[in-house]
Structure 1
Amino acid sequence: MRFRFTCLLMLLSGIAMAQSPAFPANGLKVKWEVVENGYQGKPQTLSTFTFINKTKQAFPASGWTFFFTFVRYVSPGDAGNGIQVAHVNGPLATFKPTAGFKGIAPGDSLKINVVSVAWVTAITDGPEGPYLVWDQQPAKGHAITDYTVVPPTSDKQLRRTAADQHPQTTAAEIYQRNARIKDVPLDQLPKILPTPVAYEEKPGAFTINANTAIGYHPDFKQEAEYLSAVLKDALGKPVRIVAGNEGAIRLEKNNDTATGAYSLSGSSNGYVIASGNAAGIFYGIQSLRSLLSTAKGSTISVPLVDVKDQPRFGFRSMMIDVARNFQSKQQLLKVIDLMAVYKLNVLHLHMSDDEGWRVEIPGLPELTSVGGRRAHGVNELEALQPSYGSGPDVVNTAGSGFYTRADYIEILRFARQRHIKVIPEIEMPGHARAAIKSMDARYEKLMKAGKTAEANEYRLSDPDDKSQYRSVQEWKDNVINPALPSAYKFMEKVVDELVAMHKEAGAPLDIIHMGGDETPAGVWAKSPVCQALIAKEKMSGPDDLWYYFYDRIAKIVNQRGLQLYGWEEAGMRKTRRDGRDVMIANPDFGNRNFQLDVWNNVMGGGMEDLTYRLANAGYKVVLSGVSNYYFDMAYVKDYYEPGFYWGGYVDVDKPFYFIPFDLYKNAKEDDQGRTLPPGTFVGKDRLTEYGQRNIAGVQAALWSETVKTPAQQEYLLLPKLIGMAERAWAPDPAWAREKDEAAAGRLYQEAWSNFINVVAKRELPRLTRLNGGYLYRIPTAGAIVENGKVLANVQLPGMVIRYTTDGKEPTAKSPVYTEPVAATGAVKLKVFDSAGRGGRTIAVQP
């Protein structure tokens, strides 16, 4: 008996040894670096992975696969040294050993060269989330924790091509831009932002303390409670609210029916906020809130102003992507409160995409149990594959997460109290991989249970479809099949559940975003059910299936009393002109109250007038242009600046200087930061009076491919968001209306100086204290060398530049820059805000 038990132990031990990796994943050190952009004179990059064996045992010659995610498509094939490169799907790629690989001896290293499309000129471009999978444990990924992106040391690592003469924004260029900003004293700056229609400051002040009461009209009780909470946060004590005209602060109803319009009038005895609607009262409260001192105390002295105000646009939106990388409910509420401060009134919530589905839908649990999670696995029946560096483990909070039904209702109620409409977005037919794979998992589960009818009820993919395509993000299987009746039943189910959640939250849904963008060429071409539908409906080919699909989606939406909303491609149609494929405004949808986000205004890209073409064609258009309002674009052309840059660089000035009805007038640079050549806009469509009536509003967008933490989100949002809010709310400024170019330039520079002083001296200090503080971007210093000395300045007046000359990193205790610095070695400069938080250090050699 003992012999048999011993043999069993030996057998189990042998199985365990066979299943255990022979080499620890943490025994590898991995480095990656760019060798050359514009490799071989083509739009491609040569880069190198270096594997270093840190252990005393050999890294095996076989039995493993190395995974990594990379936003640049890696050319598959033989990489040399016995390593094969492969593209899995989306951003996921692998290295595998071939028979020629000899392993890595202890202490030795291996270099693997890879070629990828386009270029890599920023730290956020590089590969992420590497992990090892052993053949003996194919379902388990082992994260490589010792991984480094090696920074560039030469221009060829930073240039897009050999001809690129401006690979980085220099400290001297930043200095010259900053030098045009005048330092305006705090007491000369306006006290309310966004800029009101009419604003007058008066002498004197009104004192608020815990005895101050808020009187309110019965229609404005919710707003009175909100103001009480704001004052409690400032005073540290609750403030009474009373119905009627009592109270030093009164919320009164007038006959102004314009949504959001209000008046704010102060005297030494108190303040009156008046409006014909609750939204106007709320915006008046935000203006009063901006008058409060940032310091907390038992009493607050409020300066006196008279304001008459109303929003320029009725649609002032922030698009937040939580699909690519997730943000918690708490962080989303924090962003909503930030939006309220600056009088934005729409949260466009991008909750589904290829990489994640982020809201619970009752009856379809797989959407979140599979589509709301990312992890390594042998299939995707339990979680989606890793993306954007989420790594092999499901516990990664950027890759995995979703809002429960209760969470979503709480978000809706929180937003409603701040007069913010939440518009959910469900991406389709492209960008739908999370939904497709979730329904595939549902299908497999129910088929195993013998429930064939239920398994096919919400299927989104045709298993016999042999079409080959790659989306912009390199997905091979991310498009819903429009010939499946189950696809429309799925959409009806999702829409109905969203409508029910909004109703329960007291925030009825009247508009829904249904995506519609970036459906790749080649889809549906080899799907039997699609071919049958094309024949039945007498279509000209697979391209027509898109219009068939979206027409049916429109009917589903409209039958529920909802307005259809989509990305610009949803309002366009492919046709032929001069023997080439072109996209035109689709006449089929233009008269159906169809609203579009138009993002493609890349300066110098040729589509700068698309916004106006679609508005002129009858579509309701939201100005969402990448060149000014994609906040995931990096602030400046700097390797260490986070964010993408395919649509250009978006610093604080670009949202501010955008002119909604004449975007050409103040456009200054192309997508590479170069001055736009004369004639760029010759022949471009201009906005007609009819088209102008179709401009619904302005939207900023923060896509989340590079946003994995709340800090990263806030860095990209702020202070850009303040400029966007100004343009969405405030009347057209004088510099936008001035026809003389030189005069317009002078007016703009004066307005820009005033605005950036307000941002730096009023807004950012209060955001430091609000809701635990927002981690806005602190800019790098500008610097030049003159007469052997370093001169420095800053974009945000009032922030402090500190420096060192001994090679050490500047701290909040380092000397403050007040005059040119003479030194024999490098001068290190770093900008600090009023709270002592620092930006990124630059070094300048005198």
Structure 2
Amino acid sequence: MKFLYIVLLSVLSSAALAQQQKNSDLDLAITWQPLENNFLKDEQGLSVLTIKNVGKATLPKTGWKLFFNFIRVITPKTANQPFEVAHINGDLSCFMPAKNFGGLKPGESLTYEMLSNSWMVNTSDAPQGFYLVWDKSKEIVPFKAVAFVAPPDQKKFFRVGGDVETTPEMIYTANQNIADISESKLTKVFPTPVGYVENGKTLTLTPDVTIGYEPGFESEANLLAQEIGKLFGKKIGASKLGKANPTISLLKNDAAHEAYTLNISEKGVVIKAGSSAGAFYGIQSLKTLIDPAAFASNKNKSIILTGVDVTDAPRFGYRGFMLDVARNFQPKAQILKLLDVFALYKINTLHFHLNDDEGWRLEIPTLPELTSVGAKRAHLKGDGGNLQSAYGSGPYIDQLPGSGYYSKEDFKEILRYAAARHIRIIPEIETPGHARAAIKAMDKRYQTYLAKGDKAAAEQYLLRHLEDKSVYRSVQKWNDNVIDVALPSVYNFLETVTDDIIEMYKEAGAPLETIHFGGDEVPKGVWEQSPAFNALKQNGSNIKTTTDLWDDYFGKVSAMLKKKGLYLSGWEEVGLKKAVENGKSKWLVNEKFSNQNVQVNVWNNLLGNEDLAYRLANGNYKVIISFVSTFYFDMAYFKKFEEPGFYWGGFTELDKPFSFIPYDYLKNQQKNYLGRQLSEKVLKEAEKLTATGRNNIVGLQGQLWSETIKNTDNLEYLLLPRLLALAERAWSRSPDWAEENERTKAKQLYENSLSNFYNILGKRELKRLNYYAGGFNYRIPTPGLKVENGKVSANVQLPGFAIRYTTDGSIPTLKSQVYTQPISVNDQLVFRTFDHQGKGSSVSKLNDR
């Protein structure tokens, strides 16, 4: 018997070894190429996958599934394709071998033509995250990232007429009115202060610099000492003002909150403010006065400051940025780094999007399943222990950026770091839609306690009715991502999460005024067949429709927050109701929550909703303008197949947020998401901002959704330099070009202002960001090209950056020739922009058209 056991064990071991060998020897190279939009005259895209076996083992006829993420639902172009396809949920689908699939031997390739349910524009539309799972062993074989091939016929790839790729010629035209301004003529404080005068004096800082402060400014003085100490490589002290005159003085006056004055002369630096926030912003202005090159070293011997007299105060009290860490996670160190750059440019609010369908990122001590399940993505094993792969996060658990969360201590550290820099953090707990991670986590909790025989505990925080047969599909293609707000257990959950969050803020000593509870993109069909909803309808309550249930939900959430001394924030839908006018569905202002200090982020300014922000503000909601077409920094900079980012809300070049006029945005932003002029009817009938509405515009906010962001470099490329345009509009007073009504004069004033802004970025601020807080991977603009009279001219968006070129088709490097004047046409010419640190942009070629 023992002998037979040994033989059997040997056979099983050999089989396992053979399977491992089989898995390790199998390797597929996958390429995606889009072919045609509007295929068969429908709003759909045709693309092709090429799958080549580059391994040593054959992909067999049967016995496997090939999983992948794709933001489109696909169908095979024809019936004789080699794979059958199934949409699982969200962006997860899988291929299975069709009856006619005969296997794929090493060296062989196959193609799979597929139709997607919407247009395709750039590489962000590509399928990703392919991995194979064997049916029997359940072992996983991951594959390398998908390769991209540009569409062969650009005309077939256009969505609508005039939907061309951005060409070097178009970039050249956009750049041609940008003036090159001497750095000596640029304002050296950024964002632009209310008053700025250079007084002809200078001050030299040395490692012996001293800092003195009046009571109330100790924290700000110590932070300044740390910053200056980094520049000199020496510990700098800060102390209360005494008899001796320090180099830098922080003094108290009666200025408004966040306002300050800054004076620099040969006698020293004097910052005066009425609040610690004002003193802090005076210090940030002082830091932007420092030569950017000084930040490259920690061994500066001296730093010369230009003498200035600055008076300053913000235009908006709310200057915000929303960061999504739910779709793809960002580590704590990156959050702290972002807080540094937010503080430098006077952004004072981080709207922290901490949960969504694809992830829950904040430890809630009372409900550990939220992170033990909801913060982990991997291949599904059927035990409910993790979420499915999304956005190419792959099959393995505990890998960035799909998995990850902030522990309670991490979050408290982030809160303290932000508070010290006068940045408040608004936590967003997205509900009732976009809540799949929470729903699945509480499902797991239910299973755990039910297995212990504790049904009451199992149901205490359940977020869905187990017998709900409602049918819906969200924009992101989930069919199970909406909390059932008819369940009493939902409110147990929300209050518990709220209480744990409040406790973390309290322990961190950080301010908390509001919690953002989402409210966007709840699809049709939710709750309609929920037994909990039907019970409410039948028990004599006022709830008869799902619209009533919506109002009841946010009424309860708002009341819960008020009891805790907080107010409700949400996306615009919190303040809206749907109605039918002239046979068309339209959003109307919901009076139920107006005039109650409910704060809404208005993102939708598309397709008939161009005036939605003003309608809500006029209707007595506190509005933070967060427009997709202007302030969604996850949108691509321009239309180019290789350019990363989404595009459904339009393309967002650097001038888009810079040119924004908060109180009259349709004055100069009159194009839709496809770049087409809005009709005169839309412009004429759009609701104008009233005096009441103007007072209800709280501020501006940029957004960075993270579906396409796989690492910190991706994040910084999309964020910067657009963040600086947001900072300028949110802090600085209304510019002259925005106030000017005569079009020709306004246009000239705007071009002058834009040139000034681009020069400040190219010659000062981006040079600083090469080193500040460890340095940032900002986007370097692609050169523009123009051919005229047999010569090629090149230009760049940001003066101060260099253009280099090659004549042999190779990619330019720092050793390549610097462009100084037009050069003779050559089909092998390649141009590239370089910043001061030697980082290069994407390339421009004459045939990029």
Contact kept? 1:79, 1:113, Cα under 8 Å: no
Answering whether residue 466 of structure 2 is matched by residue 448 of structure 1, we say no
Amino acid at match of 1:5: Y
Deviates more, 1:788-797 or 1:390-399: 390-399
Structure 2 residue corresponding to 1:218, chosen from 209, 215, 218: 215
Aligned to 1:266: 264
Residue 507 (structure 1) aligns with: 510
Residue of structure 1 in register with 2:42 after alignment: 42
1:573 correspondence with 2:577: yes
Q: What one-letter code is carried by the residue in structure 2 that aligns with 1:727?
A: R
**C-alpha contact 1:66 1:132 (8 A) present in aligned 2:** yes
Q: Which amino acid aligns with 2:498?
A: V
- Residue-by-residue CA offset, 1:320-340 (whole Å, 9 max, x unaligned): 110010000000110010000
Q: Of the candidates 432, 446, 451, which is equivalent to residue 429 of structure 1?
A: 432
Instruction: Tell me the equivalent position of 1:312.
Output: 315
Distance 1:673 1:41 in 2: 21
In structure 2, the CA distance between the partners of 1:682 and 1:26, relative to structure 1 (3 Å rule), is: farther
Q: Match for 2:169 among 168, 172, 183?
A: 172
Structure 1 runs, 4 residues or longer, greater than 6 Å off = none
CA distance in 2, matches of 1:503, 1:699: 26
Distance, in Å, in 1 between the alignment partners of 2:25 and 2:157 is: 31
**Equivalence map 1:143-542=2 (5 Å):** 143-145=142-144, 147-156=146-155, 158-160=157-159, 163-245=160-242, 246-256=245-255, 258-294=256-292, 295=294, 296=297, 297-379=300-382, 381-536=384-539, 537-542=541-546
Q: Say whether the 8 Å CA contact 1:471–1:520 is kept in structure 2.
A: yes
The amino acid that maps onto 2:118 is: A
> 1:29 deviation in Å?
2.0
Which letter does structure 2 place at the counterpart of 1:272?
Answer: V
Counterpart in the other structure of 2:773: 771
Contact 2:81 2:113 (C-alpha < 8 Å) held by counterparts: no
Inter-CA distance 82–777: structure 2 relative to 1 (3 Å threshold): closer
Do the aligned residues in 2 keep the contact of 1:479 with 1:519 (CA within 8 Å)?
yes
**What do residues 625-679 of structure 1 show as CA deviations (whole Å, max 9, x unaligned)?**
1111110111111111110011011111111110000001111533123455555
Distance 1:76 1:582, change over 3 A: farther
Distance of 2:17 and 2:231 partners within structure 1: 63
Paired residue for 2:664?
Answer: 662
Q: CA RMSD in A?
A: 1.8
Match of 1:557 among 553, 556, 561: 561
Q: Is the 8 A contact 2:378 2:388 kept in 1?
A: yes
Unpaired segments ≥5 residues, structure 2: none
Equivalent residues of 1:826, 1:845 under 8 A apart: no
Superposition map of 1:25-104 within 5 A: 26-55=26-55, 57-75=57-75, 80-104=80-104
3-state SS in 1 of match to 2:152: coil
2-side partners of 1:719 and 1:372: how far apart?
A: 30
Report the residue type matching 2:194 in the other structure.
Answer: V
The residue that corresponds to 1:736 in the other structure is: 738
| Residue in 2 that maps onto 1:582 | 586
| 1:550 aligned counterpart, secondary structure | helix
Task: Tell me which residue corresponds to 1:598.
Answer: 602
Contact 2:69 2:93 survives alignment (8 Å): yes
The answer to which of 374-383 and 11-20 deviates more is: 11-20
Which SS does the other structure have where 1:798 is aligned? coil
Instruction: Note if contact 1:141-1:393 (Cα within 8 Å) is conserved in structure 2.
Output: no
Compute the TM-score of the two structures, normalised by the length of structure 1: 0.97
CA 810–679 in structure 1, closer or farther in 2 if over 3 Å, else same: farther
* CA separation of 1:57 and 1:697: change in aligned 2, threshold 3 A: closer
Of the structure 1 ranges 446-455 and 370-379, higher mean CA displacement relative to structure 2 is found in 446-455
| TM-score, scaled to structure 2 | 0.96
CA drift of 1:575 comes to 2.3
| Deviates further, 163-172 or 318-327 | 163-172
* Alpha-carbon spacing, 1:230–1:66, altered in 2? closer, same or farther (3 Å): same
Write the deviation string for residues 796-845 of structure 1: whole angstroms up to 9, x where unpaired. Answer: 00100000011111001100001111143221000000111101011115
Distance 1:146 1:644, change over 3 A: closer
User: 8 Å contact 1:37–1:156 — kept in the other structure?
Assistant: no
Paired residue for 1:117? 117
Distance 2:82 2:831 in 1: 47
Alignment of 1:649-688 (within 5 A): 649-676=651-678, 678-688=680-690
| 1:624-773 matches, cutoff 5 A | 624-676=626-678, 678-773=680-775
Structure 1 248/73 Cα, relative in aligned 2: closer, same or farther at 3 Å? same
- Label 1:836 to 1:243 Cα distance change in 2 as closer, same or farther (>3 A): same
Relative to 1, partners in 2 of residues 1:234 and 1:58: Cα closer, same or farther, differing over 3 Å?
closer
CA deviation after TM superposition for structure 1 residue 19, in Å: 6.8
Q: Give the 3-state SS of the residue equivalent to 1:101 in structure 2.
A: coil
Which amino acid in structure 2 is aligned with residue 561 of structure 1? G
Partner Cα separation in structure 2 for residue 570 and residue 25 of structure 1: 54
Separation in structure 2 between the aligned mates of residue 386 and residue 264 of structure 1, nearest angstrom: 52
Distance in 2 (alpha carbons) for counterparts of 1:718 and 1:754: 18
Is 1:623–1:695's contact at 8 Å kept on the other side of the alignment?
yes
What is the CA–CA distance in structure 2 between the aligned matches of 1:78 and 1:591, rounded to whole Å?
56
Task: Give secondary structure in 1 for the equivalent of 2:74.
Answer: coil
SS at match of 1:419: coil
CA contact (8 A) 2:70 2:92 kept: yes
Code of the residue aligned with 1:520 in structure 2: it is: P
Question: Number of matched residues?
Answer: 840
Secondary structure of the structure 2 residue equivalent to 1:237: coil
Match of 1:544 in 2: 548
Q: What are the superposed Cα offsets for residues 251-274 of structure 1, whole Å, 9 maximum, x if unpaired?
A: 000112x21011111210101101
1:15 to partner: Cα distance: 6.5
In the aligned structure 2, how far is the partner of 1:24 from the partner of 1:393?
Answer: 16
Per-residue CA deviations over 1:676-723 (Å, capped at 9, x if unaligned) read 555541110010001000011110001101111111111111110101
Q: Is the 8 A contact 2:264 2:307 kept in 1?
A: yes
Q: Are positions 1:815 and 2:814 aligned together?
A: no
Matched-pair contact (CA < 8 Å) for 2:424–2:511: no
Q: Aligned equivalents of 1:481 and 1:491: distance in 2?
A: 12
* Conserved 8 A contact 1:499-1:508: no
Does the residue aligned with 1:239 lie in a helix, a strand or coil?
Answer: coil
Give the Cα–Cα distance (whole angstroms) in 1 for the partners of residues 53 and 79 of structure 2.
19
Identical pairs, percent: 46
Q: Distance in 2 between matches of 1:720 and 1:439?
A: 38
Distance across 2 between alignment mates of 1:551 and 1:146: 46
In the alignment, the residues of structure 1 paired with residue 7 and residue 836 of structure 2 have an alpha-carbon distance, to the nearest angstrom, of 71
* Contact 1:375–1:383, Cα closer than 8 Å, also in 2: yes
Deviations along 1:99-119, whole A, 9 cap, x unmatched? 333222443222222111111
In 1, Cα distance between equivalents of 2:21 and 2:428: 43
Q: Alpha carbons of 1:678 and 1:820: their partners in 2 closer, same or farther (altered >3 Å)?
A: farther
* SS of residue in 1 equivalent to 2:501: helix
| Separation in structure 2 between the aligned mates of residue 723 and residue 508 of structure 1, nearest angstrom | 27
Gaps of 5+ in 1: none
Instruction: Decide whether the 8 Å contact of 2:54 with 2:107 is kept in 1.
Output: yes
Secondary structure (helix, strand or coil) at the match of 1:588 reads helix
Alpha-carbon shift at residue 13 of structure 1 (Å): 3.4
